[in-house]
A and B are shown apart, each in its own frame.
Chain A
Amino acid sequence: MIELRDISKTYAKSGTKAVDSLTLQIPDGVIYGFLGPNGAGKTTTIRVMTGAIAADSGSVTIDGIDLDKDPLEAKQRFGLVPDTPDLFSRLRAYEYLNFVADVYKVSSADRTSAIEGLAARFELSDVLKSPIGSMSRGMRMKLNLIASLVHTPHNWILDEPVVGLDPHSAFALKELMREHAAAGGTVFFSTHVMEVAERVCDELAIINKGKLIFTGSLEALRELRESRGAKAGTGEAGTPVAAEASTEASAAAGDESLEALFLALVEDSEVPTL
C-alpha cells in the first residue's frame, strides 16, 4: 500500500509548481492508473513517491513505512520502472540486472530464477549479454521491467511502461500487472494510453497542472460525468467560458470511452473560476 499525504513540489530552477497538495491512497491488490496530460505532474509525483526527488511538503509511506524517515526500508518494498529506459547504456543487460539485484540484496539463486523467468516471458533471454546501448527502446523498457521485479517487490511502480512495447510484450505486461495485483501486491502506473488504462485499471487518479482532479473507479468517473453533464444542461455554469466548456463536456458525456471522459474532465479543470 502506498500513501501520499498533501504532497507539494515546486521546481527551484523554473519556479513551476509541478505537484500541488496531492493526497492519494493506493491500496493493495489493485491496479491503479495515474492519468494526466503532458506536464500534468505524473512523473514528478512518481519521483517524489520513490524518493528520487524531495517534496517541499507532505509525506509518503510505503507499506506503512515513512519514506523520509526510513528510506532504505521503504525503497526495499517497491520496484520502479522509470520513464526513461536509457539508463546505463554502456553496461551489458546482465551486468545491469546484477547491479540492481546486488542493491536489493537478492541471493544468487533467487536472482537467477527471477531473471530467467521474466526474460523468457518478455522474450529477452537471447540478448542478456548484449550492451544495453545496442538494444531498441522496447527491449530496454523490457529490461527495466525485469530489473524492477528482480527482488519481487510488494509494490510495483511504473512510469509510462507501455511506450515502445510490442503487442506481445504489452500483453505480457498487462498479465503480469494482473497477477501482481491478484497476489495482493500494489500496481501503480502512469500512462498516456487510455485504452490500456481502460482495460487494466481497477482504480484511477487523474492529475492536471499538479492537482488531482479525480480519484475512483472508471464507473465512478462515468457517473461523475453524467451528473456534471446534467448540471451543465440546467445552465448552472456561471461564465460564458465555463458554459462553453461545459457544453463540450456534456457532448463528450455521451461518449463513454475513458478518452472522452478524461478530455472532458481535464477541460473542466481548466475552466477559470471567478
Chain B
Amino acid sequence: MSQRPASPFMALLALNLKSVFAIHLPEKKALASPKVLLKTFGWILLAIFLIADFGFMFAMMDISLYNALAPFGMESLMLLSSIVTSSVLVFLFAFITSLSFFSSARYEALFLTMPLKPSSLLISRMATVYAIEAPIAFLVMAIAAGVYGIKSHPGFDFYLYILFNTLAMPLVPLAVSYAVLVPVMSVSRWLRRKNTILYLGGFIGLGLALGFNLYLQTMMSRIENPALLQKMLSQGQLNFADIADWWPPAWLTMQAIAKGSSAVSAIAATFTNLALGVVLTAAVAYLSGKGYVKILANFGETSATKGKIDQTRASSIFKSRPVFLSLVRRELRLMNREPIYLLNGPFVILLLPVIFALTFVARGNEMRDAVTRLRPYLTGQAEYLIPAGMGIFLATATSIACTAFSRDAKSLHFLKSLPLRPLDLIAAKLVHALIFAALGIALGTVGGVIMLGVSGLDAMIALLLAIFGSLALNMGGLVIDTFWPKLSWEDPMAALKRNPNTVITILGSMGLIAGLGVLAGTLPLQKYAFAFLYGTALIAACVALGLALFRAGPKKLRQMEP
C-alpha cells in the first residue's frame, strides 16, 4: 500500500525546520572512529555548557530576587520579572530572526514557482521562527517556575498555567515582527538586499543585546541592594512591572498565575493569552501573505551598476603593487566587506569596550567601588598583568587568524593555481590579523593602563606582554586553521561563527589569561622576574609557532582540498 504524501504545507514546514535545525548526528557505525566520537562529544558538551551557562545565570537571578522580595511578601514579583525577561528576550529573537530570514529570500523565492498559497509560505516561515523562540521562553520560564515551585510549593495547576502561557508567549512577538517587517520591506528596495539585512540585523541585534545586558545589569544592582529595592517597591519604580502592564501576553500570564486568582480567572487569562496569540498570528499571516510573496519575488534585484573607468584615471587605477601588499589588501577587503565577517570579526574590538562602558553606566557606583577596592591589590605582577590580559583578549577576539583559510575555502583552488609563494599567502593572513590585534592592544592594554592608573615601567611591560601574547595566540590560531581548516560550507557564517577553530582560539586566549593569573599567584618570584619569565615563555611560543607555521604551513597548504 502506498504511503499518502504529506500536504504541500507540511512538506514546506518540514523543509524549513530541517534547514534551520540541521543537526546531523553521526550514525552508530561512524562513532567507532575516535575522531568522530570526540567531535560529537565536544559538540554535546558545548551545547550543555551553553544551556547550563544561561540557565545558571537566570537561576541565580531568580533565587536572588526571590530572597530579596520574600521579606516584603512580594516574592511573586520574581515570576513577573521572569515573565518580562522572557517576553523581552522572545521579542528580540522574534524580530531579529524574522529579519534575518529575509536574507535567504532569494532561495525561498524558488517556492514561488510551486503551487503553494502565499499565506502557507508565510505561516511555514513564522512556524520556523516560533520553533526558535519557544525554547528560549521555555528555558527562562522553566527555571523561574522551578525556583518558585521549590520555595513556595504552589499547586500542580500553577505549572499547567505556566506551560500554556509560555506556549502563547512567542506568538504575539512573532505576529508583531511580521506585521512591521512585511509592509516596511515592501516599500523599500534598499531593505530588500541581503547586505542591508545582514548589517541591519547585526546592528539591531547588537543594540538589543546591549540593551538587554543593561537591563540585566540594572536588575542585578537592585537585587544586590535591598535598601534600594525596598525604596523602589514602595515608590512603584520597578520598570519590569511597567512593562508587564502594557504588554498583554505578560499581563495575562501574570493574571493566570497570580496568588489568589480563582481557577476560572486563571483559565480565562490562559485561554485569552493563547487565543490572542493564535488569532493575531493567523490574521498577520492571512493579511501579509501576498505582501510577503511580493518581497520574495522582488528580493535582491540587482544589476551591475554602470561604472566605467575614466581613461584619464586608468593608469592610477590599474597600478602595479608588490604582491604581498596586494595579498594583504585582498584579505582586508574580503573580511571588511562581508557583513557577517565584519560584525563578528574586527567589529568585536569596538563592541567589547562598548559593553564594558555600558556596564559602567548601569552599575557605575559598583564598578567605581570595584576599581577602588581593586587598586590596593594592583601591586606586584597584577599591575602589568591585568592591562596585558585585557589587550591580549581583545587582540584575539576578532577570529581573523583562526578562520583565515576557512574563509577562503571557495577561492582556494584558484588561489593555489596562481604563481604565489605559500609563505606569502600565510604571512599576509598573519599580518591582516596583527593589524587588528594592534587596535585591540591599543584599546585593551593602553585603555587598561589609563583606567587603572598603571605607572611607566609597568605600562611598558604590559604593552610588551600584550604584543607577544597576542602574536602567539594569533599565530596559534593561524596554525590551527592551516592544519585543520573548515573548508566545506555554504554559508559564510559557518566559516567564522560556527567554526570550531574560533571556539578553540577564544578558549585558548581565556586559558592563557587565566593561567597568567594563576601562575602570578603561585610562583614565588620577584615582580619583574615574573615578567621576564612570562615574556620569555611567550617569545619561545612565538618562535615555536612561527616555525610550525612557516615551515610546515606551505606543505599543509599544498595538501589543502576544499
Residues of A within 8 A of B314 (CB): 112, 116
Establish whether residues A80 and B561, one from each chain, have CB atoms under 8 Å apart when the complex forms: no
A40 within 8 A of partner (CB): no
Residue of B nearest to A47 (CB): B413
Are B304's CB and A87's CB within 8 A? Answer: no
* In the complex, chain B residues whose CB is within 8 Å of the CB of A135: 304
Point out the residue from B321, B322, B325, B413 that lies within 8 Å of A82, measured CB to CB.
B413
Asked if A87 and B410 sit within 8 Å, CB to CB, the answer is yes
Contact of A91 among B305, B330, B418 (CB under 8 A): B330
Is the CB–CB distance between B307 and A91 below 8 Å?
Answer: no
Chain B 282-316 interface residues, beta-carbon cutoff 8 Å to A: 302-309, 314-315
Instruction: List chain B residues, Cβ under 8 A from A73.
Output: 419
Q: A72-B419, A111-B320, A126-B307 are in contact. Are A82 and B330 (CB under 8 A)?
A: no
Q: In the docked arrangement, what's the CA distance between A163 and B411, Å?
A: 19
Asked if A99 and B330 sit within 8 Å, CB to CB, the answer is yes
A54 near B559 with CB under 8 A, answer yes
Per-residue A-contact encoding for B409-428, CB less than 8 Å = 1, 0 else: 01111101111110000000
How long is the Cα–Cα vector from A135 to B302 in the complex, in angstroms?
8
Residue of B338, B411, B413 with highest tally of chain A CB at under 10 A? B413
Q: Using a CB-CB cutoff of 8 Å, which residues 41-56 of chain A contact chain B?
A: 47, 50-54
Q: Are the C-beta atoms of A108 and B308 separated by less than 8 Å?
A: no
B265 vs chain A, min Cβ distance (A):
57
Closest to A73 in B: B419
Given contacts A127-B306, A139-B304, contact A75 B561 (CB under 8 A): no
Q: Are B326 and A98 in contact (CB under 8 A)?
A: yes
- The answer to whether the Cβ of A103 comes within 8 Å of any Cβ in the partner chain is yes
Pick the residue among B330, B410, B559 that contacts A84 (CB under 8 A): B410
Is the beta-carbon distance between A112 and B315 smaller than 8 angstroms? yes
Residue A171 lies at the interface, judged by CB distance under 8 Å to chain B: no
Question: What string of 1s and 0s marks CB contacts (under 8 Å) between B534-562 and chain A?
Answer: 00000000000000000000000011010
Give Cα distance in the complex from A52 to B409, angstroms. Answer: 12
**Is A107 positioned at the interface, with any CB of B under 8 Å from its CB?**
yes
Let me know if B308 and A51 touch, CB within 8 A: no
Interface residues of B toward A: which range?
35 or more
B337 proximal to A (CB < 8 A): yes
Q: Which residues of A contact B306 (CB under 8 A)?
A: 126-127, 130
Interface residue A97 (Cβ < 8 Å from any Cβ of B):
yes
Shortest Cβ gap from B310 to chain A (Å): 10
A104 within 8 A of B: yes
Check: A237 CB closer than 8 A to any chain B CB: no
Q: Contacts A88-B411, A126-B307, A129-B307 hold; do A12 and B561 have CB atoms under 8 A apart?
A: yes
Question: Is A244 interfacial (CB 8 A cutoff)?
Answer: no
- Kindly list chain A residues whose C-beta atoms are within 8 Å of the C-beta of B523: none
In the assembly, what is the distance between CA of A107 and CA of B322, in Å? 11
**Is A200 close to B, CB under 8 A?**
no
Does B518 belong to the interface (CB within 8 Å)? no
- Tell yes or no: B319 within 8 A of A by CB: yes
How many A residues touch the partner, as a band?
Answer: 35 or more
Q: Cβ of B330: which chain A residues have Cβ within 8 Å of it?
A: 88, 91, 99
Q: Using a Cβ cutoff of 8 Å, how many contacts connect chains A and B?
A: 124
Distance of A139 Cα from B330 Cα, bound (Å): 21
Determine whether B44 belongs to the interface, using a CB cutoff of 8 Å to chain A.
no
Chain B, range 220-274, C-beta contacts under 8 Å to A? none
B323 an interface residue at 8 Å Cβ cutoff? yes
Instruction: Collect the chain B residues with CB atoms within 8 Å of residue A98's CB.
Output: 317-319, 321, 326
User: Closest residue to A9 on the B side, CB-wise?
Assistant: B561
Q: Take A12-B561, A129-B309, A135-B304 as given contacts and tell me if A94 and B317 are in contact as well, using a CB distance cutoff of 8 Å.
A: yes
B333 within 8 A of A: yes
Q: Give CA–CA (A51, B419) in the complex, Å.
A: 10
The reply to whether A127 and B305 contact each other, CB–CB distance below 8 Å, is yes
Known A75-B418, A75-B419, A126-B307: A87·B411 in contact at CB below 8 Å: yes
Taking CB atoms, residues of chain A closer than 8 Å to B334 are 88, 90-91
User: Judging by beta carbons under 8 Å apart, are B417 and A75 in contact?
Assistant: yes
Question: Which chain A residue lies CB-closest to B560?
Answer: A53
Complex CA–CA separation, A108 to B104 (angstroms): 40
A134 touches B326 (CB 8 A): no
A102→B421 contact, CB < 8 A: no
- A-B pairs, top 5 by smallest CB distance, nearest first, are A129-B307, A102-B326, A50-B417, A75-B419, A90-B337
Pick 12 A–B contacts, CB within 8 A, sort by A: A82-B414, A82-B417, A88-B330, A90-B337, A98-B321, A104-B419, A105-B323, A108-B315, A108-B319, A112-B315, A116-B314, A127-B306
Inter-chain pairs besides A72-B421, A102-B321, A128-B308, 18 sampled, C-beta below 8 Å: A51-B416, A52-B412, A52-B414, A52-B417, A54-B558, A82-B417, A87-B414, A88-B330, A90-B338, A91-B334, A98-B318, A111-B320, A112-B315, A127-B305, A128-B307, A130-B304, A134-B304, A134-B305
